[in-house]
Structure formats: structure tokens, C-alpha cells
Amino acid sequence: MPLALLKAGQSSIITRIGGKPETRQFLEGLGFVVGAHVTVISEMGGNVICSIKDSRVAVSKEMAKKIFV
């Protein structure tokens, strides 16, 4: 299921990254790689705020739909 469907406080492991190669490379640079543990902290103004690799990262809802957990 896409990361965008997780609720605040839920954790999961990334299983797949979709989208164009540029999109996948951008998300990889932020730490969104297959096998990484991700926790949704909150959702604000169309952005999903996540904790990944000891960092907090905000991605748009559209980007979050390309990250599968």
C-alpha cells in the first residue's frame, strides 16, 4: 500500500519505490530506499512528514503515493 495511506504514528518498511527514474533517485537521496524503516509523524497541508533514518522528512502527498510499504 502507498505511504500516503498510513496514519500518524504508524510505521512500516519500504517495499518498492515507483515513478520515473528521476523521482526514484530524488526519493533515494532523501533516504527512501527499499528495506528502510519509515514512520509517519503527521500530515499537514497536503504534505506527509516522516521519520526515516533518524531524520524528519516532508514529502508531498503525490510523492508519498509513489512509496510503497
pTM > 0.85: yes
Give percent of the chain above pLDDT 90: 90
Domain count, the chain: 1
One-letter amino acid for residue 64 of the chain: A
Domain coverage including residue 54: 3-68
Summarize pLDDT for 16-35 with one digit per residue, the tens: 999 999 999 999 999 999 99
The answer to whether 38 and 11 have CB atoms below 8 angstroms apart is yes
CATH number of the domain within which 13 lies: 2.30.30.90
- In this prediction, residue 47 carries a pLDDT of 93
Where are the alpha helices (H) located in the chain, listed in sequence order?
21-30, 61-64
